[in-house]
Structure 1
């Protein structure tokens, strides 16, 4: 596992004076990979608690003068949105690694603004990739051999691969596949709020996208819905939008790996819509 990080270049190198903090599930390949790489060169690994909590992470950054930091996209939004963040001393952080979920351009800009002294790197991989792969995990076509990751992506004319999101995280509205990550990114850019889009069953359209925002930040539901239509067209229009507060939530429900639990969020949205009838 240490060989993986021997060949990576993502910001300042890790050394004996490095203090690397991560707060993600230890069964994920990224956790032991980071720990092994840091310990190999005599650095320090900081795991601030048994579960992710923004306050705990911020306190650990200050107390241990963290130099390297792993934050998943949902964790980035939670940490930066914490009411004490602006008063925290985070200038010791020189490198931030993010990944495990869709890392949009706006997310990278948000990290850079929040941690101006840090280099930012987005990585994408699979925990399963650290184990054994079966031949059924691959398929061949005219372009060559491919590994089935379960992601939706595209390759531009320069050969650059863009990961658009998980195939299962697609809303099928009237037979049209809508990538939730595209809506989340555009709404997040428009409102400045972390956003999650879930699929709500529809008797006539199959599914419809519904946006859940951390906060509307002065925008209205109508403005958010119109903004999506202006950018993507009527085929992508939202069923609705609501803030976490409107849904009775204090934060997005996250699983052990720090990802938004969309099945749980969908259930909460459906209950909210039932109350509106």
Structure 2
């Protein structure tokens, strides 16, 4: 049996009375957390879920997220975490592509998920709410939608004494455990399937050089539905017996307050968050407990490291690199003394990297002049994109994953990300592919053509901008286009900048010149 939730059970045996989870005023010991995971796993089985089936998980950083995540795995099923801000079309695609039989959601998004799941037979909605009024409203909505039923998440925990023990579900190391949806190059997001072994290697072997300890207090300020927060913080803290503090908001006041209150020693963040913390300032707080902060998602701006470490005097801010397909980080700077400016560090344990040219030929030994596509071979490489064998095959060269990033590797093995091969906008650490946003905009009857680009932005790295050609005889405004995009796309995907024009810049062959598009906003 190889079940990722076993690491919680192991920590519960070693540290039964130690606080495992803190959410607001709530405290869960490892023993309590492990018991809750088992009860929810049994409850899911009682509700008719079977091993190998997928369950959507659309919660913020809460105890029910953590419990459900490991309970689904313990029951031999597959977790499909997704953004609570996802709109109906995105939710429908995720549930359908992953084959979800049900989903655990907050009351605030229950209606959206129900509408998205109308085509899924026998779909069960599990709602995280203790508000009886909200439950009554949801019950009425479910009944009118024709869905099978809805169940309050709390009910899965309340039936503990009524359940007979169930035998453990046997999972294999290479079984799919989690499906993370990552933005697609040609439109809708693709589901990257990560195995129990991928996740285990990412949170144990790949983190050994950072000297993790059960004495530490980790902070989850990154969303746990994202692979960076899920693998780099949630799984790491549970595997090593750390106390995990959950932050539902990532604003500086909330995060800095939690760090000071609980003596947080480590957390991960994207550059946008770090810049916000620096802008807010320490405000007389004692932040000296923090020892290690990992940054990823996009490149750190010059000066951020020194400014951050002035605010967190005992911390090392260390930049790393990874992707959903690599189960988060595969290389990282290890310490203040070892890090190199501009580099994302050296490969983690068991990770190999190489540089290839446009033809796929491996370039000579590392050096500043050898820039090409970064290929990765690692025990954390995903099983493939769910239901998309052609896309999976295209992204591999034998055993090597083609990252789509241009990079170089110096003579000491330090990796430097130089550019992107794929069209991608990295906004606040999230990948946004222009093609998806363009498809959405062009579905509007008032839009004839649209092209989307990323514009440099000091806070979020790149801001999403759309140049739109209106349909003949249609009247559209920039605000109308923005409002339409907000309804059709998650918050991090919709363009904040829109400009109406009469024609797009094209080459002699009719190809849109994206670099010229960017200059239209200057």
Please indicate the TM-score interval, normalised by the length of the shorter structure.
0.5 to 0.7
1:105-184 residue pairs with structure 2 within 5 A?
Answer: 105-130=302-327, 131-133=382-384, 134-139=392-397, 147-155=401-409, 160-166=414-420, 167-169=422-424
Task: Give the structure 1 partner of residue 214 of structure 2.
Answer: 16
**Would you say the 8 A contact 2:217–2:244 is kept in 1?**
yes
Q: State the 1:160 CA deviation.
A: 4.0
Distance 1:155 1:66 in 2: 34
Distance 2:209 2:411 in 1: 28
Question: How far apart are the structure 1 equivalents of 2:286 and 2:261?
Answer: 10
Residues of 1 paired with 2:416 and 2:454: CA distance? 15
Q: Secondary structure at the match of 2:298?
A: coil
Cα distance in 1, alignment partners of residues 256 and 223 from structure 2: 18
Separation (CA, whole Å) in 2 of partners of 1:153 and 1:265: 30
Kindly indicate whether the alpha-carbon contact (under 8 Å) linking 1:10 and 1:121 is maintained by their aligned counterparts in 2.
no
Note the residue ranges of structure 2 that are not aligned, 5 or more in a row: 1-198, 328-381, 385-391, 426-452, 468-489, 502-519
Match of 1:25 in 2: 223
Q: Which residue of 1 aligns with 2:512?
A: none
Question: Relative to structure 1, is the Cα distance of residues 201 and 95 closer, same or farther in structure 2, using a 3 angstrom cutoff?
Answer: closer
Q: Distance in 2 between matches of 1:165 and 1:107?
A: 20
The alpha carbon displacement at 1:101 in A equals: 1.6
Instruction: Please list the CA deviations of residues 134-179 of structure 1 after superposition, one character each: whole Å capped at 9, or x if unmatched.
Output: 2211248xxxx75332334344566643113544258xxxxxxxx9
Cα offset, 1:77, TM superposition: 0.6
2:252 to 50, 54, 59: 54
Q: CA deviation at 1:109?
A: 2.8
Question: Are residues 262 and 85 of structure 1, via their aligned partners in 2, closer, same or farther at CA, if it must alter by over 3 Å?
Answer: farther
Shift of 1:15: 1.7
Partner of 2:51: none
Match of 2:287 in 1: 90
TM-score by length of 2: 0.32
Structure 1 segment 45-84 matched on structure 2, within 5 A? 45-49=244-248, 51-82=249-280
Equivalent positions of 1:253-268 (< 5 A) are: 261=492, 264-267=495-498
Distance 1:123 1:93 in 2: 18
CA contact (8 A) 1:11 1:121 kept: no
Cα shift at 1:38: 1.5
SS for the counterpart of 2:305 is: helix
Which residue does the alignment assign to 2:201? 3
Structure number with higher relative contact order (C-alpha < 8 Å, ≥ 6 residues apart): 1
Residue 53 of structure 1, CA deviation: 1.7
Q: Secondary structure at the match of 1:30?
A: helix
Q: 1:48 to 1:25 in 2, by over 3 A?
A: closer
* SS across alignment from 2:256: helix
Conserved 8 A contact 2:223-2:230: no
Q: Match of 1:150, SS?
A: strand
Label 1:11 to 1:139 Cα distance change in 2 as closer, same or farther (>3 A).
closer
Alpha-carbon distance change, 267 to 19 in structure 1, aligned in 2, over 3 angstroms: farther
| Structure with max Cα Rg | 2
Identify if the C-alpha distance between structure 1 residues 180 and 155 changes in structure 2 by more than 3 Å, giving closer, same or farther.
farther
- Judged with a 3 Å threshold, the aligned counterparts in structure 2 of structure 1 residues 90 and 267 are, in CA distance, closer, same or farther, namely farther
CA distance in 2 between partners of 1:199 and 1:53 (Å)? 21
